[in-house]
Structure 1
Amino acid sequence: MTTVGEALISLLEAHGVDTVFGIPGVHTVELYRGLARSRIRHVTPRHEQGAGFMADGYARAGGKPGVAFVITGPGLTNTITAMGQARADSVPMLVISGVNATPTLGKGLGFLHELPDQRGMMEKVALASTRITQAAELPGALAHAFALFSSSRPGPVHIEIPTDVMVQPADGLQAGLSNAVPPLPDAGAIAEAAKMLATAKRPLILAGGGAKHAAAALKHLAERLGAPVVQTANARGLMHGHPLAVPASPSLKAVRALMADADVVLAAGTEFGPTDYDMYGDGGFVLPDNLVRIDIDPAQLRRHPARLCIEADCGAALEALAARLPETVKQSPEGEARAGAAREAALSGLDKTLRGQIEVVETIRDALPGSIVVGDSTQPVYAANLYYDHDRPGGWFNAATGFGALGYGPPAAIGAALAVPDAPVVCLSGDGGFQFTLPEIGAALDAGAPVIFVVWNNRGYREIETSMREVGVEPVGVSPEPPDFCKLAQAYGIEAERLSGAAGLAAALTRARTKGKPVLIEISVE
Structure 2
Amino acid sequence: MISQSTPQAASTPLTGGQALVRLLAHYGVDTVFGIPGVHTLELYRGLPGSGIRHVLTRHEQGAGFMADGYARVSGKPGVCFIISGPGVTNAATAIGQAYADSIPLLVISSVNHTASLGKGWGCLHETQDQRAITAPITAFSAVALSTDDLPELIARAFAVFDSERPRPVHISVPLDVLAGSISRDWSHEVVRRPGRGLPSAQALEEAARRLQQARRPMIIAGGGALAAGAQLQALSERLAAPLFTSVAGKGLLAPDAPLNAGSSLCVEPGWELIAQADVVLAVGTEMADTDYWRERLPLSGEVIRVDIDPRKFNDFYPCAVALHGDAQQTLADLLTRLPLQPRDAREAVTAVATLRAAVRAGHAPLQSIHQHILDRIAAAMPANTVISSDMTQLAYTGNYAFASRAPRSWLHPTGYGTLGYGLPAGIGAKFGAPQRPALVLVGDGGFLYTVQELATAVEELDSPLVVLLWNNDALGQIRDDMLNLDIEPVGVLPRNPDFALLARAFGCTVCEPLSLDELERDLRAGFAHAGVTLIELKHACAR
TM-score past 0.5 threshold: yes
Deviations, residues 488-520 of structure 1 (Å, cap 9, x unaligned): 111111111111243322211111122211111
Distance 1:347 1:284 in 2: 23
Q: In structure 2, what residue type is equivalent to 1:386?
A: Y
Give the direction of change, closer, same or farther, for the CA distance of 1:6–1:501 in structure 2 (3 Å limit): same
Give the direction of change, closer, same or farther, for the CA distance of 1:238–1:362 in structure 2 (3 Å limit): farther
Instruction: Confirm or deny that 1:73 pairs with 2:85.
Output: yes
Query: For 2:378, what is the secondary structure of its paired residue?
Result: helix
Deviations, residues 148-177 of structure 1 (Å, cap 9, x unaligned): 001111111000100011111124114232
Q: In structure 2, what residue type is equivalent to 1:511?
A: A
12-21 or 177-186: which moved more? 177-186
Q: Does the 8 Å contact 2:252/2:407 carry over to 1?
A: yes
Distance 1:65 1:355 in 2: 37
Specify the alignment match of 1:33 in structure 2: 45
Query: For 1:69, what is the secondary structure of its paired residue?
Result: strand
Instruction: Confirm or deny that 1:241 pairs with 2:256.
Output: yes
Q: In structure 2, what residue type is equivalent to 1:342?
A: L
Question: How much does 1:20 deviate?
Answer: 0.1
Deviations, residues 466-500 of structure 1 (Å, cap 9, x unaligned): 00000000000011111111111111111111112
Distance 1:454 1:29 in 2: 37
Question: How much does 1:331 deviate?
Answer: 3.9
Specify the alignment match of 2:194 in structure 1: 180
Q: Does the 8 Å contact 2:249/2:407 carry over to 1?
A: yes
1:115 alignment partner, one of 127, 132, 157: 127
1:456 alignment partner, one of 470, 474, 478: 470
Distance 1:302 1:200 in 2: 22
Distance 2:341 2:504 in 1: 64
Q: Does the 8 Å contact 2:277/2:299 carry over to 1?
A: no
Specify the alignment match of 1:289 in structure 2: 301
Query: For 1:520, what is the secondary structure of its paired residue?
Result: strand
Distance 2:145 2:479 in 1: 50
Deviations, residues 266-318 of structure 1 (Å, cap 9, x unaligned): 111111111112x1x4x462344311111111112231311111111211111
Specify the alignment match of 2:426 in structure 1: 413
1:195 alignment partner, one of 209, 213, 216: 209
Question: TM-score scaled to structure 1, two decimals?
Answer: 0.97
Query: For 1:423, what is the secondary structure of its paired residue?
Result: coil
2:271 alignment partner, one of 256, 259, 283: 256
Distance 1:237 1:105 in 2: 47
Distance 1:316 1:333 in 2: 29
Deviations, residues 69-91 of structure 1 (Å, cap 9, x unaligned): 00000001000000000001000
Q: Does the 8 Å contact 2:78/2:105 carry over to 1?
A: yes
Question: How much does 1:261 deviate?
Answer: 0.9
**4+ residue runs of structure 1 moved beyond 4 angstroms?**
none
Q: Does the 8 Å contact 1:266/1:291 carry over to 2?
A: yes
Specify the alignment match of 1:53 in structure 2: 65
Instruction: Confirm or deny that 1:494 pairs with 2:508.
Output: yes
Deviations, residues 383-435 of structure 1 (Å, cap 9, x unaligned): 11232211121201212x21001000000000001111111100110011001
Specify the alignment match of 2:368 in structure 1: 355
Q: Does the 8 Å contact 1:355/1:383 carry over to 2?
A: no
Matches within 5 A, 1:23-422: 23-170=35-182, 171-173=184-186, 174-239=188-253, 240-277=255-292, 279=293, 281=294, 283=295, 285-303=297-315, 304-328=317-341, 330-368=343-381, 369-399=383-413, 401-422=414-435
Instruction: Confirm or deny that 1:515 pairs with 2:529.
Output: yes
340-349 or 49-58: which moved more? 340-349
23-32 or 316-325: which moved more? 316-325
Q: Does the 8 Å contact 2:238/2:340 carry over to 1?
A: no
Q: Does the 8 Å contact 2:276/2:300 carry over to 1?
A: no
Question: How much does 1:359 deviate?
Answer: 2.9
Question: How much does 1:34 deviate?
Answer: 1.4
Specify the alignment match of 2:23 in structure 1: 11
Query: For 2:512, what is the secondary structure of its paired residue?
Result: strand
Q: Does the 8 Å contact 2:513/2:535 carry over to 1?
A: yes
500-509 or 236-245: which moved more? 500-509
Question: How much does 1:335 deviate?
Answer: 1.6
Structure 2: give runs of 5+ residues left out of the alignment: 1-12
Q: In structure 2, what residue type is equivalent to 1:126?
A: T
Distance 2:439 2:167 in 1: 24
Q: In structure 2, what residue type is equivalent to 1:106?
A: G
Aligned-residue CA RMSD in angstroms?
1.4
Q: Does the 8 Å contact 1:375/1:409 carry over to 2?
A: yes
Task: Report the identity percentage.
Answer: 42
Question: How much does 1:103 deviate?
Answer: 0.5
Deviations, residues 12-65 of structure 1 (Å, cap 9, x unaligned): 001000000001111110111110221000001100000000000000011110
Question: TM-score scaled to structure 2, two decimals?
Answer: 0.94
Distance 1:508 1:96 in 2: 40
Query: For 1:337, what is the secondary structure of its paired residue?
Result: helix
Query: For 1:42, what is the secondary structure of its paired residue?
Result: strand
Specify the alignment match of 1:446 in structure 2: 459
Deviations, residues 326-360 of structure 1 (Å, cap 9, x unaligned): 23563444121111112222322222321320232
Q: Does the 8 Å contact 1:99/1:163 carry over to 2?
A: yes
Deviations, residues 171-225 of structure 1 (Å, cap 9, x unaligned): 4114232322013122111111111111222111111121222111111111111
